[in-house]
């Protein structure tokens, strides 16, 4: 694939995508360009897929690989939990353990557990444990404090 990047001093910025066949890579590029703020690209067994950020239930780091979970798919995505949290600094995602981030907007129910932990039931029915290290920050988030 040939990439042509040009700096301009005035006029309107534009991006042109020319392709012979709409491959998964081309689809990913188009998805990023059409709506970079609300899409997350990842890989599944069937190839590259895109999901709306709002559809994410949680992200989990397993063996230095990052996975994003929606109601119906699991995607492997690039990056780390820290980089994801820095990119999504809007309060909708919360670091609930060393290896997991949850979408606060997709939590269906909460239950206090022993040792100051919290069981968060997600919309898909999954139970995510908020560790005691992060539980007090989560309670402050629920109260509207940051």
CATH number assigned to the domain comprising residue 30:
2.40.50.1020
Q: Name residue 77's beta-bridge partners.
A: 66
Answer yes or no: is 4 within a domain. no
Q: By the 8 A CB rule, do 103 and 70 touch?
A: no
What pLDDT does 28 receive? 67
Q: What pLDDT, on a 0 to 100 scale, did the predictor assign at position 35? A: 60
Q: Is residue 123 part of a domain?
A: yes
Number of separate domains in the chain: 1
Question: Is pLDDT of 33 > 80?
Answer: no
> Would you tell me how many other CB atoms lie within 10 Å of the CB of residue 140?
11
At residue 37, does pLDDT exceed 70? no
14: in domain: no
SS3 content of the chain, % helix, strand, coil (to 5): 25, 35, 40
pLDDT score of 109 more than 80:
yes
User: In Å, how far are 30, 68, 80, 98, 141 from 60, measured between CA atoms?
Assistant: 26, 7, 9, 9, 21
pLDDT in tens, 55-68: 999 999 999 999 99
* Domain contains 63: yes
User: Does residue 58 lie in a domain region?
Assistant: yes
Residue 6 located in a structural domain: no
Classify residue 47: in a domain, yes or no: yes
Q: For the residues 97-113, what does the mean pLDDT come to?
A: 95
Average pLDDT over residues 84-112: 90
Q: Of the segments 11-20, 42-51, 80-89, 123-132, which one has the largest average pLDDT value? A: 123-132
Give the neighbor-by-neighbor strand order of the sheet with 74-77: 47-52, 39-44, 74-77, 65-69, 58-62, 100-103, 93-97
Please state the rounded mean pLDDT for residues 111-118. Answer: 94
Q: How confident is the model at residue 146 (pLDDT cuts 50, 70, 90)?
A: low
pTM above 0.85, yes or no: no
- The domain containing residue 101 runs over which residues? 24-142
Q: What backbone phi and psi angles, to 5 degrees, belong to 55?
A: -80, -10
Task: Report yes or no on 125 lying in a domain.
Answer: yes
Contact 138, 107 (CB under 8 A): no
């Amino acid at each position: 694939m040939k990439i042509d990047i040009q700096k301009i001093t005035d006029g309107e910025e534009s991006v042109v995508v020319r392709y012979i066949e709409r491959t998964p890579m081309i689809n990913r590029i188009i998805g990023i360009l059409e709506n970079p703020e609300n899409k997350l690209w990842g890989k599944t067994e069937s190839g590259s897929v895109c999901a709306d950020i709002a559809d994410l239930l949680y992200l989990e780091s397993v063996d230095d690989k990052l996975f994003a979970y929606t109601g119906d798919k699991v995607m492997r995505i690039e990056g780390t939990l820290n980089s994801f949290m820095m990119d999504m600094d809007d309060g909708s995602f919360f670091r609930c353990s060393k290896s997991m981030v949850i979408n606060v907007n997709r939590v269906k129910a909460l239950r206090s557990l022993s040792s100051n932990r919290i069981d968060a039931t997600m919309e898909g029915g999954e139970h995510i444990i908020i560790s005691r290290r992060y539980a007090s920050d989560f309670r402050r988030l629920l109260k509207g404090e940051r």
